[in-house]
Structure 1
């Protein structure tokens, strides 16, 4: 199977787009692919449980339900440490790695395919 990188920079201001990024990652994971998710910009707000629970994409489910599958299914989830700090997030939830932006560049070259939301 392949390795998919899903880069999400859209935040709660566009809940459908944010949830769609998580859903695509979820579908790839459930299809047996290796999945990496990189959260940057406003998307790091999804690190907050209350934000995940409030985000529901039109016709595609909630961010929380997709998040749970990703976290329990073995997806690698990264968040920009700079984007997070700028939004008052200094600790990541269990299973999420706060990383420098250079990690995104590395992931782009490590993955076979990438998609951005």
Structure 2
């Protein structure tokens, strides 16, 4: 199966876009694709449970529900170390901190990269 990297750099100002990205990741995972999600920049705001719980996309569903499905389904989830640190965000269970060099390796390793 084709491996996919979903890069989320959009923050809470556009929950529809973020929900769409996570919905695509969740759908790919359900279809058997290896899925990696990388949160960077404003996208790291979704590491905060209160942000996830209140964010819903228009026609693209609940970010919290998509997130739970990704965690439960075994998706690999990374968050930018620098983006998280500058925003004083602690990593959730199941999320690994990663530097830009790790993102470069993930881009090289995955068959498809999509940015939301």
Is 1:69 paired with 2:69?
yes
Q: Give 1:24 deviation, angstroms.
A: 0.7
Q: Secondary structure, in 3 states, of the residue corresponding to 1:92? A: coil
Which residue matches 2:82? Answer: 82
Residue equivalent to 1:109: 108
Number of the residue aligned with 2:93: 94
- Matched residue pairs, number? 116
SS in structure 1 at match of 2:5: strand
Cα displacement string for residues 75-114 of structure 1 (whole angstroms, at most 9, x for unaligned residues): 000000100011111x311100011111111000000011
CA distance in 1, matches of 2:53, 2:111: 31
Distance in 2, matches of 1:20 and 1:104, equals: 21
Residue 28 of structure 1: CA displacement? 0.4
Question: Which ranges of 4 or more aligned residues in structure 1 deviate by more than 3 Å?
Answer: none
Q: Residue 28 of structure 1 aligns with which residue? A: 28
- Show structure 1 runs of 5+ residues with no match: none
